[in-house]
Structure 1
Amino acid sequence: MSAGVVTACEPQSRELLLGMGRWLKVNGEAIFNTRPWLVYGEGPTKMAKSGTFSEHAEVQYTAQDLRFTRSKDGKTFYCIVMDRPEKPVRLESVKAVPSTGAEIVLLGTDKPCAFSVDQAGHLTIDPPQIDVTDEALDAAYVFRLKGFELSLSETDK
């Protein structure tokens, strides 16, 4: 098998792997060459007590389930939303101070997202319209934040 080519495997497995590849082509910058942020994320979905997910347990993520990574230099922050964000996404564990020129983009769309920061510093992202036929945007959704000073919110310290 050539590197990067999926050939001999079951059709369902092949489609799963190809789908992962499409997602990574669009959103890979939030995964590769990144580092964990101060907390891994937030949201209502919890892992099994063993600390790992099981193929026997179906996990239903919501748009409130968020995961966080950052670039090596710390200048870019990624918020991975585990389901389609159909309404504004509020980051409870992140305190944000935007600088001049701060921007948020949904990867795969290159559309800037409107955002607001409340008095407590909580960031709310208003997602753009998402093309439901785009297979690369059919799993988790990644917002790239640049130009923000970020810290843990007081509730998570």
Structure 2
Amino acid sequence: MKRTVTFGLLMVLFSWNLQAQDEQDFKQFGLQKQQEAMQKAQKEKTFSGNNNVTIQQVGYQNYTNIAVKAQQSNIDVKQLGNQNSLELYKNAREINQSLIQRGNNNNINDFSANPYSASNNQILQYGNNLNYTSYGSNSISDDMKIIQRGNSGSLLILNR
């Protein structure tokens, strides 16, 4: 009987000690995970800068491909219709661009690789089967607003 009581007391003492270690380990693990999450959020904040891309697509089979390298960018895309296509590849210091396609089978292709420039453009397509293609950028094409209306029109801009 004495042996059973002693064994029971030892079990209670050891289990208490083991539980205390587990709680401390859980606290350290929780603090470590919290620090990792804070470091990850800080890295994301550092890399994200002030770059925003908003895409709104209403319809079916709309396609958008955007690749931008900029210190600051604000790009707003609206595709309202069916089978509209947009490809935007830009490398610039600052980009502010609004692109609207309202209709069907409209295409926008905009390519520019001048890392020292600032781009501030609006491209609006209202109609069907409209095509817009632009290569490069310069001071003339900055702050340009292009509006295409009607059906089956094409516009090609070559900047040097």
Larger RCO, structures 1/2 (Cα 8 Å, 6+ apart): 1
Q: Which has the higher helix share?
A: 2
The interval holding the TM-score normalised by the smaller chain is under 0.3
- TM-score using structure 1 length: 0.26
Q: Which has the higher strand share?
A: 2
- TM-score using structure 2 length: 0.26
